[in-house]
C-alpha cells in the first residue's frame, strides 16, 4: 500500500450507503479509490494505533495489515452513541493538522447532544420549537413540562439515531410510558412542542438541507404517511431530492445559520417551513444513500477535502 493515500473512515457496520457514495466520489475525482478504514478501530479502546512521524499522523490496524499516512481523512457514519469515544482520535488529527472536515469534536458534540443543540439554538437565535430537557424527571416534573408545552409534544433521547425512541405524545398515559422507557435505558430526554408540520394532503413533512461551508448544496423533502412516526427515512418517510433553488431563500439561510450555530462546516439540517421556519436538528452525517444524487453532496464533500491539500 502506498503512503499518502486518501482515507475514508466510516463505521463498517452501517448499512445506510454513505460509504459507497463517498468512495465513488473519491475515485471519480482522483482516479484512485480511497483506503477504507473502519472508524470503530479508532474508538477509545479499539485496536487501531496512531503514530506521529515527522509531525504527521500515521494510522495502523495490525490485525488487518493496514498502515498508512493519510493525505486526508474523510470521516463519516460514526454512530452518535460512539462519538464520545471517537473524540481523542479527532483531537489528535486536529492537533497535527490532518486534512479533514471531521476533526472538530466540540462541534460534533454540540450537534449530537440535543441538550447542547437547543442551548446553541437559543444562544444564537435559531428558531426552533419550544423544548424542555428532562433528566431523570419525577412524574410531576414530566407532567408539568407536558402541560407547559400544550400536551402535544415529541419526545426524543438527548443522544439518538435514525429516529429510534422518538415518540409523539398527546396523553398523560403516553408521557408516563415514555418516562419509564427512558428511565429504563438511563437516557436523558427532551420534549418539544409539536410543529404541526403537515402538507396539503395531511401528511407530516419537513426538509433536510445539506450545508457545506456556508452554502446549501442539497435539499430533499421527507414525507411521513404515519402522523405519529418520526419524519425520518429510517422510520419509513419518503425522501424526494429537490433543487436547492426550489426552496425559499430564507429557509436555506436558516439551514446555514443552524449549521454555523453548532460549529460545523458541514451538516444536514432538518427543518420545517411551518411556524415561520423551525429547525429540529443538525445532523453531523446526513445520509448519502441511493436517493441522494452523489454530485450534490458526496462530490462537493470530497472536493472540500481536496481543496485543503
Residue 209 belongs to some domain of the structure? yes
Name the pairing type of β-strands 6-10 and 72-76. Answer: parallel
pLDDT digits (tens, 9 = 90+) for 101-131: 999 999 999 999 999 999 999 999 999 999 9
Q: Please tell me whether residues 165 and 142 are part of one structural domain.
A: yes
pLDDT at 13 > cutoff 60: yes
Residue 234 belongs to some domain of the structure? yes
Q: Please tell me whether residues 16 and 77 are part of one structural domain.
A: yes
pLDDT value at residue 296? 83
Q: Please tell me whether residues 179 and 224 are part of one structural domain.
A: no
Q: Please tell me whether residues 77 and 21 are part of one structural domain.
A: yes
pLDDT value at residue 1? 39
pLDDT at 2 > cutoff 50: no
pLDDT value at residue 59? 97
Q: Please tell me whether residues 235 and 270 are part of one structural domain.
A: yes
pLDDT at 27 > cutoff 90: yes
CATH of the domain at 253: 3.30.470.20
Q: Please tell me whether residues 148 and 209 are part of one structural domain.
A: no
Residue 21 belongs to some domain of the structure? yes
pLDDT digits (tens, 9 = 90+) for 165-219: 999 999 999 999 999 999 999 999 999 999 999 999 999 999 999 999 999 999 9
Q: Please tell me whether residues 88 and 155 are part of one structural domain.
A: no
Q: Please tell me whether residues 216 and 277 are part of one structural domain.
A: yes
Q: How confident is the model at residue 291 (pLDDT cuts 50, 70, 90)?
A: low
Residue 93 belongs to some domain of the structure? yes
Q: For 93, how many CA atoms within 13 A lie in the half-sphere containing its CB?
A: 25
pLDDT digits (tens, 9 = 90+) for 254-273: 999 999 999 999 999 999 99
Q: Please tell me whether residues 156 and 206 are part of one structural domain.
A: no
Domains identified in the chain, total number: 3
Q: Please tell me whether residues 25 and 52 are part of one structural domain.
A: yes
> Domain boundary residue among 161, 193, 225?
193
Give the lowest-confidence range in 42-56, 182-196, 272-286, 289-303. 289-303
pLDDT value at residue 15? 87
pLDDT value at residue 276? 86
pLDDT at 220 > cutoff 70: yes
> Burial code of 190-210, b = ≥16 C-beta within 10 A, e = fewer?
bbbbbbebeeeeebbbbbbbb
CATH of the domain at 161: 3.30.1490.20
Residue 304 belongs to some domain of the structure? no
Residue 116 belongs to some domain of the structure? no
pLDDT at 290 > cutoff 70: no
Maximum C-alpha span of the chain: 62
Give the lowest-confidence range in 79-88, 238-247, 263-272. 238-247
Residue 111 belongs to some domain of the structure? no
187 is in which domain, residue-wise?
130-193
* Range 146-166 average pLDDT: 95
Residue 118 belongs to some domain of the structure? no
Q: Please tell me whether residues 184 and 211 are part of one structural domain.
A: no
Model's pTM, two decimal places? 0.95
> Domain boundary residue among 145, 163, 193?
193
Q: Please tell me whether residues 211 and 282 are part of one structural domain.
A: yes
CATH of the domain at 79: 3.40.50.20
pLDDT at 3 > cutoff 60: no
- Calculate what percentage of the chain has a pLDDT beyond 70: 97
Amino acid at each position: 500500500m502506498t503512503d499518502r493515500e486518501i482515507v475514508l473512515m466510516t463505521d463498517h457496520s452501517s448499512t445506510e450507503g454513505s460509504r459507497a457514495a463517498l468512495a465513488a466520489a473519491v475515485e471519480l475525482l482522483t482516479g484512485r479509490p480511497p483506503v477504507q478504514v473502519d472508524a470503530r478501530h479508532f474508538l477509545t479502546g479499539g485496536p487501531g494505533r496512531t503514530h506521529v512521524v515527522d509531525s504527521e499522523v500515521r494510522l495502523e490496524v495490525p490485525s488487518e495489515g493496514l498502515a498508512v499516512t493519510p493525505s486526508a481523512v474523510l470521516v463519516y457514519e460514526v454512530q452518535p452513541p460512539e462519538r464520545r469515544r471517537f473524540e481523542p482520535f479527532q483531537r489528535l488529527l486536529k492537533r497535527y493538522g490532518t486534512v479533514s472536515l471531521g476533526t472538530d469534536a466540540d462541534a460534533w458534540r454540540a450537534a449530537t447532544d440535543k441538550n447542547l443543540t437547543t442551548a446553541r439554538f437559543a444562544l444564537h437565535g435559531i428558531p426552533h420549537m419550544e423544548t424542555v430537557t428532562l433528566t431523570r424527571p419525577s412524574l410531576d416534573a414530566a407532567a408539568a413540562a407536558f402541560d407547559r408545552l400544550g400536551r402535544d409534544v415529541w419526545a426524543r433521547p438527548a443522544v439518538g439515531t435514525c429516529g429510534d425512541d422518538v415518540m409523539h405524545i398527546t396523553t398523560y398515559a403516553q408521557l408516563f410510558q415514555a418516562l419509564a422507557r427512558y428511565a429504563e435505558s438511563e437516557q436523558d430526554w427532551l420534549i418539544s412542542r409539536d410543529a404541526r408540520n403537515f402538507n396539503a394532503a395531511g401528511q407530516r413533512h419537513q426538509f433536510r438541507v445539506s450545508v457545506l461551508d456556508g452554502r446549501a448544496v442539497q435539499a430533499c423533502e421527507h414525507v411521513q404517511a404515519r402522523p405519529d412516526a418520526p419524519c425520518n427515512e429510517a422510520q419509513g418517510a419518503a425522501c424526494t431530492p429537490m433543487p436547492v433553488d426550489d426552496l425559499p431563500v430564507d429557509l436555506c439561510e436558516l439551514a446555514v445559520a443552524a449549521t454555523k450555530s453548532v460549529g460545523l462546516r458541514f451538516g444536514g439540517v432538518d427543518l420545517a417551513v411551518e411556524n415561520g421556519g423551525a429547525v429540529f436538528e443538525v445532523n453531523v452525517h446526513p445520509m448519502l444513500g441511493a436517493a441522494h444524487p452523489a454530485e450534490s453532496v458526496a462530490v462537493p464533500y470530497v472536493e472540500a477535502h481536496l481543496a485543503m491539500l
